[in-house]
Amino acid sequence: MRRRRRLFLADEATENFWPAFTDLTSTIALILFVLVLLAYIQNLLNARNLERARAELAATMERLGASQQKVDKAERRLRRLAAEIEAGQDRLRLSELKVQQQEQVISDSSRELSEVRAQLRGIALLRLSTLQKVKTSIEAEMGRQGQHATKASIGPNGNIVLDESLLFEIDSATIKRGAKPFLDSLAGALLAVLGDPQVRESIDVVLVQGHTDARGTTTYNRELSARRSNAVLNYLFAARPELEREHGRYFASSAYSEFRPINPGKGEAAMRENRRIEISVVLRDSSIREVIDGYMRNIDPALREGKGDTGAEQEQQEQQQ
């Protein structure tokens, strides 16, 4: 009985062992399946993340390429800007050099113009001195001819103004006897003035001008004023023949008729004032022209154009650039 019981228990234990082993195997297989499934899912997730990472990397690379293009473009602009700045600095240096040269030219021109101005001032003073000598000499003669002082005067322009009534009768070109002493003295005064070489050098012409009033025709007045101015000049030459012989080239006569009145009025007083003989001492302008011409001849052509040798070199450099 005991043996049968032991056999029964052994069979029962054997039957209980196999189901337990099968369950264990199934559990392990299930666990492995789950693990494999989890690994598969993990691989899927990793693959998806990898694709996403690749896409992001590609997008990043694309953005990086675009950024690199922008950087390259910025670098090219920067290089162009640097080249422009360098060229601008070169132009600035050339401009500064030109300014220096222009300042030198201006300085030289100012110095030369100052010299010319001094020469012209000297000529002006000489002209003034000449007119003053003429005026002083004539006034001295008129002072000695006191009875004619009211009929002969020195005008504001330096001309000797002789009233018609001192020299002529109405509508006549014949010099009055009483006027001859005054004209004799005037001829002597003119001879003394022209005898000074320095004064004579500044005189262009001594012009005897005939003027009438507005009455009568223009033709008659022109002829009358011409005859009167010629009569005065001829008398001066006759009174002092050496005046014509030595200085005749300085004298001329002219007729202005009624066209240069002193007094524009229409009354008798205005008419009487306008009938006159004027003796004008015209000074030479050639002295002034000679100074200016000499100044222009002494100016270097390049300086007249505002350029020196360095200026020409700068132009060549600019053309090369």
**In the chain, domain spans:** 124-295
End-to-end CA distance of the chain: give it in Å, rounded.
Answer: 129
pLDDT, tens digit only, all 321 positions of the chain = 656 555 555 555 555 555 677 878 888 888 888 888 888 888 888 888 888 888 888 888 888 888 888 888 888 988 888 888 988 888 988 888 888 888 888 887 788 778 777 776 766 666 666 666 666 766 676 666 554 555 777 777 778 888 888 899 988 999 999 889 889 988 988 898 899 888 888 888 999 999 999 998 999 999 999 999 999 999 999 999 999 999 999 999 999 999 999 898 889 999 999 999 999 888 877 666 666 666 666 665 544 454 444 444 555 554 454
Q: Enter the CATH code of domain 124-295.
A: 3.30.1330.60
CA gap 152, 227 in Å, rounded: 20
Q: What is the pLDDT at residue 44? A: 84
This prediction's pTM = 0.54
Place of tokens 């005064």: 189
CA gap 197, 96 in Å, rounded: 53
- CB of 276 within 8 A of CB of 211? yes
Close Cβ partners of 215 (under 8 Å, ≥ 6 residues apart): 221, 271
